[in-house]
């Protein structure tokens, strides 16, 4: 069925939202007059395509091929603003003038679009690698509380999937599909020159929440090895560079900006379960009917709510006496979730100073960012319990005062017989009797000094010192009345019940980069050479204490760990005649995570580029504004292998109360218990995973860049892939060892197009689309070829201990689904327990399972459009994916008749309406019936805004806007959302639809 179309209630709310904006602007157009003019460059030549805007609005036009323009404007307009890539903006007073002659001056810093890359910058037309930069005006709009959301769907080859709808939830970022099975597949994140820790601290949903999206100037994605190899051992999965906003170069003004919004979050879809009346009908005459209650409880309505969130951001920027640009900002976000008891309360601070000294030979850029977050985690276990809990039972039941008055399943019909341990818990008890909170602080800062040597200005020395500190403190409290903890405590004690967990964690990441850069132009030869040294130290420590509500401790743990990364790096760029370019990079990394035999790794790259449009024989093609061919190859590494900081050393873990060894002491006549120390497996030869990437690309622009884009093809192979393999018992303290034995490959094609479809006086229409085809395949998993090796089973599912549904198998995509092929009757209904005997041996067993797809989309798209009409603005962004599958674990675990009543647990359970489609008496967890297409078309956000002319007599600008985030998804998937991390749908926190209205004012 088609899920979550634009329902009537959404259309009604949207109509009200946008109508209110229209009413705000309906008096905006007063008496108008017409002005005209000509815009020329410093040599007096006409400049076509110059943007001519009424200052403080989006209303304007562009100059024609002769540099001429004509514009209708309200008679009270005070200023015109002229802007063009590579030239300084010019603000001109209108006065009584109707005919303008404008001279534009070249801005050397903006002559070409500047791209931020590793340890430096380049221009878009000089880039030799696969680099894509999105600036703040191109970010996604709407309710976006984390940097990942700004980039979603914007860049070819980049998939960003949110973990669900929890407040401040994180996202999975995959650049060209990932490169590992057991190590990290996350890209390296660099914030203002500081490579940060992607893992965050305990109690933090999303480590990147430290950065307020309102403070971000640009996000640059480095995709191929020629661009990423400068980061060496951390760049196999790509690099994302986040650059925050800085102060103004204009010493004459102080700019104050405020942006505020309020949003309403609501859910428009739920899991289809039986209503109370449907449940009574299906239970009629069945065992367990006597347990049914008299209520009509919609448990999903109980655990979910409509919530209201707010966001406020205030920024001040300026320049003190022309030498000290500054920017300071503060942000506050209150994000209330749709699951009862969940919220995020965040305050962010940001300060940037960028002074220059010694006649601009010494440039300093110092920044510090701070985040203070209070999290409340609603009990997500209630999501699954709300699906399966008996709808005929009420939330509260006076028969169970010992459990806080919540209805509770007990061992018998006697309410005092004790909780039925394996029965589901009351969803509202799980929410209201669980307090799970955390306080997280994080600060990221750096100071960079660039010294251009006096008398030898081609040489610059650079020093960058940075840090990333974070700390958290949190805990869970569940009182003695919580039914699921009633036996928590020492045997024979009356002080049982409840659960208390307190934890702390501190992380430090310290950085020092020292490098030099030499730029020189000699005739047609241009050189840009850079080399240096980097040192980084990572340290973390933490504590965990667990007890019951009476203080009986079951765990008291303190730990600390650290590692170092030392690097030498260099890059050389050579350009001949502004047409032929070559880039060579080399990085050597040393990490304390590996033994001395494998401590150092070397990561080189080479890239070539050819500006075809600069050739003399192309000059007649006046319609062609850019045509560049690129090719590159390089090696990157992966030292974040997910096995701690000492994987090559034997380590030991002290056990908790659950793993103590007991013995009888005849001297005391008592049983005594001692802690055990568990040895962990290790591999003294463990080393980097290494990824080699080949990339070819074509950048193009037509009609003075009215149409721009790129096409790329890539092939990537990872060697020394980490995999868990069996080893002789006792070897290295284990019988299963994580070691470097495998390989996998990714290949794909990317296409990106951006078009300025219409550029007229009062009407602009831009459109962008990107497409990616990606194919991932495991090519090796063992040290020697073994035809009997089945692979590694992964992907745990609900429905039984140790059940898995996915596998890593040679020749297939990682996390492929391994299931039986279901047989259907003539009516198309699945036959219970009837599967295809695929190997024809007459026995249905594990050997008959087959690969039934995987959760990785082969083809995915992103698209955006923006329309400006006079003072009105409309934008829309969305995404689509094809070729992915999802395992519907919600239906597979909750749609069998034998679940309706479980006599051993003395409880009844609700089921999903899929039981009508299957008629299964028992769960068929491994049937391919539950492998479902996850193709979708999603509209991520819709925005309408209005810009007011001459607000406060031209001293400020005001913009009012409304957005709808996640308004609709088109899909045939039977669950509530086909976009599932990892491909297993098991009661995820649903993504809400968010309606927002806000305004932005600049002074």
What does the alpha-carbon distance between residue 247 and residue 354 come to, in Å, rounded to a whole number? 7
Question: Hey, what are 831's tokens?
Answer: 């036959």
| Burial track 606-640 (b if 16+ CB lie within 10 A, e otherwise) | bbebbbbbbeeeeeeeeebbbbbebbbbbbbbbbb
Can you give 287-349 as a three-state secondary structure string?
CCHHHCCCCCCCHHHHHECCEEEEEEEEEEEEEECCCEEEEEEEEEEEEECCECCCEEEEEEE
What does the alpha-carbon distance between residue 960 and residue 949 come to, in Å, rounded to a whole number? 12
Is pLDDT at 18 greater than 60 in this prediction?
A: no
Phi, psi of 431 (to 5 degrees): -80, -50
Report the chain's mean pLDDT, rounded to a whole number: 90
Is pLDDT at 449 greater than 70 in this prediction?
A: yes
Q: Where do the DSSP E strands lie in 849-925? A: 850-851, 859-869, 872-882, 885-888, 901-902, 907-908
Q: How many residues does the chain have?
A: 1003
Is pLDDT at 783 greater than 80 in this prediction?
A: yes
| Range in 428-437, 666-675, 723-732 with the lowest mean pLDDT | 723-732
pLDDT given at position 732: 58
| Model confidence, pTM | 0.88
Is pLDDT at 27 greater than 70 in this prediction?
A: no
User: pLDDT band for position 628 (50/70/90)?
Assistant: very high
User: pLDDT band for position 21 (50/70/90)?
Assistant: very low
User: pLDDT band for position 252 (50/70/90)?
Assistant: low
User: pLDDT band for position 458 (50/70/90)?
Assistant: very high
User: pLDDT band for position 5 (50/70/90)?
Assistant: very low
What average pLDDT does range 965-980 have in this prediction? Answer: 95
* H-only helix segments in 193-275: 225-228
User: pLDDT band for position 1 (50/70/90)?
Assistant: very low
Question: Hey, what are 493's tokens?
Answer: 């004690």
pLDDT given at position 706: 92
SS3 of 419, please? strand
Residues 6 or more apart in contact with residue 792 via CB below 8 angstroms: 181, 723, 724, 781, 807, 808
User: pLDDT band for position 22 (50/70/90)?
Assistant: very low
Question: Hey, what are 485's tokens?
Answer: 């903890």
Question: Hey, what are 438's tokens?
Answer: 């955390």
SS3 of 77, please? coil
What does the alpha-carbon distance between residue 279 and residue 828 come to, in Å, rounded to a whole number? 25
| Range in 581-590, 600-609, 782-791 with the lowest mean pLDDT | 782-791
pLDDT in tens, 816-863: 999 999 999 999 999 999 999 999 999 999 999 999 999 999 999 999
What does the alpha-carbon distance between residue 42 and residue 105 come to, in Å, rounded to a whole number? 6
pLDDT given at position 198: 83
| Burial track 436-455 (b if 16+ CB lie within 10 A, e otherwise) | bbbebbbbbbbbbebbbeee
CA neighbours within 13 Å on the CB side: how many for 733?
15
Closest by CA position to 914, among listed 985, 844, 845:
985
What does the alpha-carbon distance between residue 228 and residue 367 come to, in Å, rounded to a whole number? 24
Is pLDDT at 12 greater than 60 in this prediction?
A: no
Residues 6 or more apart in contact with residue 523 via CB below 8 angstroms: none
Residues 6 or more apart in contact with residue 336 via CB below 8 angstroms: 167, 265, 307, 308, 309, 342, 343
pLDDT given at position 639: 80
Question: Hey, what are 156's tokens?
Answer: 């070819």
pLDDT given at position 209: 84
| Burial track 851-860 (b if 16+ CB lie within 10 A, e otherwise) | bbbbbbbbbb
pLDDT given at position 983: 95
Is pLDDT at 159 greater than 90 in this prediction?
A: yes
Give the number of other Cβ atoms within 10 Å of residue 523's Cβ. Answer: 7
pLDDT given at position 443: 96
Residues 6 or more apart in contact with residue 765 via CB below 8 angstroms: 756, 757, 758, 865, 866, 867, 868
What average pLDDT does range 23-41 have in this prediction? Answer: 66
* β pairing state of 984-985 and 885-888: parallel
pLDDT given at position 734: 64
Q: Name the residue with higher pLDDT: 70 or 19.
A: 70
pLDDT in tens, 854-898: 999 999 999 999 999 988 999 999 999 999 999 999 999 999 999
Q: What distance lies between CA 291 and its chain's CA centroid?
A: 45
SS3 of 875, please? strand
SS3 of 149, please? helix
Is pLDDT at 784 greater than 60 in this prediction?
A: yes
pLDDT in tens, 160-204: 998 889 998 888 999 999 889 888 899 999 999 999 988 888 888
How far the first Cα of the chain sits from its last, in Å, is 50
pLDDT in tens, 399-413: 999 999 999 999 999
Domains of the chain: 31-110 (2.60.40.1120)
pLDDT in tens, 903-928: 989 999 999 999 999 999 999 999 99
pLDDT given at position 730: 58
pLDDT given at position 110: 52
Helix, strand, coil percentages (3-state) for the chain, rounded to 5, are 10, 50, 40
Q: Could you tell me if 750 and 157 are in contact, meaning their C-beta atoms sit under 8 angstroms apart?
A: yes
pLDDT given at position 731: 60
* β pairing state of 984-985 and 936-951: unpaired
Q: How far is CA 862 from CA 10, 638, 938, in A?
A: 23, 28, 10
What does the alpha-carbon distance between residue 342 and residue 356 come to, in Å, rounded to a whole number? 46
What does the alpha-carbon distance between residue 524 and residue 567 come to, in Å, rounded to a whole number? 33
pLDDT given at position 499: 96
Closest by CA position to 158, among listed 267, 270, 239:
239
Q: Could you tell me if 132 and 153 are in contact, meaning their C-beta atoms sit under 8 angstroms apart?
A: no
SS3 of 9, please? helix
pLDDT in tens, 108-142: 555 467 888 889 888 888 899 999 999 988 888 87
Q: Where do the DSSP E strands lie in 9-78? A: 32-40, 51-54, 60-62, 68-74
Closest by CA position to 328, among listed 347, 348, 349, 351:
351
| Burial track 253-267 (b if 16+ CB lie within 10 A, e otherwise) | eebebebebebbbbb
What does the alpha-carbon distance between residue 922 and residue 906 come to, in Å, rounded to a whole number? 18
What does the alpha-carbon distance between residue 1003 and residue 1001 come to, in Å, rounded to a whole number? 7
Q: Could you tell me if 21 and 961 are in contact, meaning their C-beta atoms sit under 8 angstroms apart?
A: yes
Q: Name the residue with higher pLDDT: 658 or 38.
A: 38
pLDDT given at position 815: 96
DSSP labels, 362-410: EEEEEEEEEEEEEEE---THHHHHHHHB-TTS-SB-TT-GGGTTB---B
Closest by CA position to 973, among listed 939, 923, 934:
934
Residue 17: enclosing H or E segment and its boundaries?
Answer: helix 8-25
DSSP labels, 460-506: EEEEEEEEEEEEEEEEEEE-TT-GGGTT-S-TT-S----EEEEEEEE
What does the alpha-carbon distance between residue 376 and residue 308 come to, in Å, rounded to a whole number? 15
SS3 of 431, please? helix
Q: How far is CA 179 from CA 235, 273, 813, in A?
A: 10, 39, 12
User: pLDDT band for position 78 (50/70/90)?
Assistant: confident
Burial label for 922, CB within 10 Å (0-12, 13-18, 19+), is exposed
What does the alpha-carbon distance between residue 967 and residue 567 come to, in Å, rounded to a whole number? 47
pLDDT given at position 42: 74
pLDDT in tens, 600-624: 999 999 999 999 999 999 988 889 9
Is pLDDT at 451 greater than 90 in this prediction?
A: yes
């Amino acid at each position: 069925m088609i899920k979550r179309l634009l329902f009537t209630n959404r259309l009604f709310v949207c109509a009200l939202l946008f109508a209110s904006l229209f009413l705000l602007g309906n008096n905006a157009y007063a008496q108008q007059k017409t002005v005209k003019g000509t815009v020329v460059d410093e040599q007096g030549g006409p400049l076509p395509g110059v943007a001519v805007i009424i200052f403080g609005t989006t209303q304007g036009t562009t100059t024609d091929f002769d540099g001429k323009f004509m514009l209708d404007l309200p008679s009270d307009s005070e200023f015109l603003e002229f802007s063009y890539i590579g030239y300084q903006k010019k603000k001109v007073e209108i006065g009584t003038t109707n005919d303008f002659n404008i001279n534009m001056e070249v801005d050397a810093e903006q002559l070409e679009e500047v791209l931020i890359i590793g340890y430096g910058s380049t221009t878009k037309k000089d880039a030799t690698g696969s680099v894509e930069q999105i600036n703040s005006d191109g970010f996604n709009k709407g309710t976006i509380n984390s940097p990942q959301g700004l980039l979603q769907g914007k860049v070819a080859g980049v998939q960003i999937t949110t973990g669900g709808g929890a407040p401040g939830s994180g996202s999975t970022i995959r650049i060209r599909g990932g490169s590992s099975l057991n190590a990290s597949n996350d890209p390296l994140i660099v914030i203002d020159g500081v490579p940060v820790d992607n893992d965050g601290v305990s109690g933090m949903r999303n480590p990147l929440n430290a950065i307020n999206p309102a403070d971000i100037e640009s996000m640059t994605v480095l995709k191929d090895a020629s661009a990423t190899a400068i980061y060496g051992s951390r760049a196999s999965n790509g690099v994302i560079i986040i650059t925050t906003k800085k102060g103004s170069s204009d010493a004459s003004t102080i700019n104050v900006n405020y942006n505020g919004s309020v949003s309403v979050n609501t859910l428009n879809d739920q899991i289809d379960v039986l209503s109370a009346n449907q449940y009574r009908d299906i239970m009629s005459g069945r065992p367990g009917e006597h347990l049914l209650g008299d209520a009509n409880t919609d448990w999903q309505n109980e655990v979910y709510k409509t919530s209201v969130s707010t966001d406020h951001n205030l920024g001040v920027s300026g320049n003190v006496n022309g030498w000290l640009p500054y920017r300071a900002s503060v942000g506050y976000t209150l994000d209330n979730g749709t699951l009862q008891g969940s919220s995020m309360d965040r305050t962010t601070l940001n300060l940037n100073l960028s002074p220059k000294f010694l006649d601009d030979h010494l440039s300093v850029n110092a920044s510090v960012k701070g985040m203070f977050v209070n999290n409340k985690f609603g009990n997500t276990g209630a999501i699954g319990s709300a699906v399966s809990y008996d709808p005929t039972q009420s939330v509260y039941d006076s028969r169970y005062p010992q459990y806080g008055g919540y209805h509770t399943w007990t061992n018998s019909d006697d309410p005092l017989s004790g909780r039925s341990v394996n029965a589901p818990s009351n969803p509202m008890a799980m929410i209201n009797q669980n307090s799970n909170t955390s306080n997280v602080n994080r600060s990221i800062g750096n100071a960079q000094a660039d010294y251009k040597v006096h008398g030898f200005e081609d040489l610059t020395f650079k020093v960058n010192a940075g840090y990333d500190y974070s700390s958290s403190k949190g805990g869970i409290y569940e009182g003695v009345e919580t039914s699921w903890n009633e036996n928590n405590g020492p045997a024979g004690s009356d002080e049982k019940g409840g659960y208390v967990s307190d934890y702390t964690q501190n992380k430090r990441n310290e950085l020092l980069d020292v490098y030099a850069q030499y730029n020189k132009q000699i005739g047609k030869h241009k050189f840009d050479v850079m080399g240096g040294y980097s040192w980084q130290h990572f340290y973390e420590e933490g504590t965990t204490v667990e007890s019951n509500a009476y203080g009986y401790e079951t765990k008291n743990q303190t730990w600390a760990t650290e590692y170092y990364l030392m690097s030498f790096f260099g890059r050389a760029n050579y350009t001949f005649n502004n047409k032929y370019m070559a880039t060579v990079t080399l990085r050597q990394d040393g990490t304390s995570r590996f033994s001395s035999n494998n401590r150092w790794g070397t990561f080189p790259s080479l890239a070539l580029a050819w500006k075809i449009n600069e050739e003399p024989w192309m000059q007649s093609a006046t319609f062609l504004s850019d045509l560049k061919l690129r090719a590159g190859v390089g090696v990157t590494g992966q030292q974040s292998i997910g096995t701690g900081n000492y994987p090559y050393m034997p380590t030991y873990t002290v056990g908790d109360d659950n793993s103590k060894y007991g013995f009888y002491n005849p001297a005391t006549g008592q049983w005594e218990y001692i802690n055990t120390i568990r040895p962990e497996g290790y591999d003294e030869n463990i080393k980097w995973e290494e990824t080699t990437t080949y990339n070819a690309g074509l950048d193009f622009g037509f009609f003075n860049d009215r149409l721009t884009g790129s096409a790329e093809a890539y092939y990537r192979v990872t060697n020394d892939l980490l995999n868990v393999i069996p080893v002789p018992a006792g070897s290295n303290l284990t019988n299963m060892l994580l070691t470097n034995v495998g390989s996998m490959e990714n290949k794909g094609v990317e296409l990106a197009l951006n078009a300025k479809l219409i550029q007229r006086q009062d009407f602009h229409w831009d459109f962008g689309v990107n497409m990616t085809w990606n194919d991932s395949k495991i090519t090796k998993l063992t040290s020697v070829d073994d035809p009997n090796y089945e692979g590694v089973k992964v992907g745990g599912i609900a429905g039984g201990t140790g059940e898995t549904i996915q596998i890593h198998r040679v020749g297939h995509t990682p996390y492929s689904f391994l299931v039986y092929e279901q047989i259907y009757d003539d009516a198309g209904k699945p036959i219970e327990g009837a599967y295809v005997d695929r190997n024809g041996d007459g026995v249905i067993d594990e050997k008959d399972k087959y690969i039934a797809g995987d959760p990785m989309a082969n083809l995915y798209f992103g698209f955006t459009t923006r329309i400006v009409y006079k003072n009105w603005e409309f934008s829309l962004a969305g995404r689509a994916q094809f070729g992915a599958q999802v395992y519907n674990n919600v239906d597979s675990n909750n749609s069998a008749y034998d679940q309706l009543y479980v006599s051993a647990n003395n409880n009844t359970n609700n089921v999903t309406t899929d039981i009508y489609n299957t008629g299964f008496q028992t769960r068929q967890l491994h049937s391919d019936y539950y492998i479902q297409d996850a193709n979708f078309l999603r509209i991520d956000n819709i925005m309408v805004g209005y810009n007011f002319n001459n607000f406060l007599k031209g001293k400020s600008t005001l913009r009012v806007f409304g957005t709808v985030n996640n308004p609709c998804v088109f899909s045939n998937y039977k669950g509530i959302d086909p976009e599932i991390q990892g491909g297993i749908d098991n009661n995820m926190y649903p993504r809400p639809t968010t309606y927002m209205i806000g305004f932005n004012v600049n002074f």
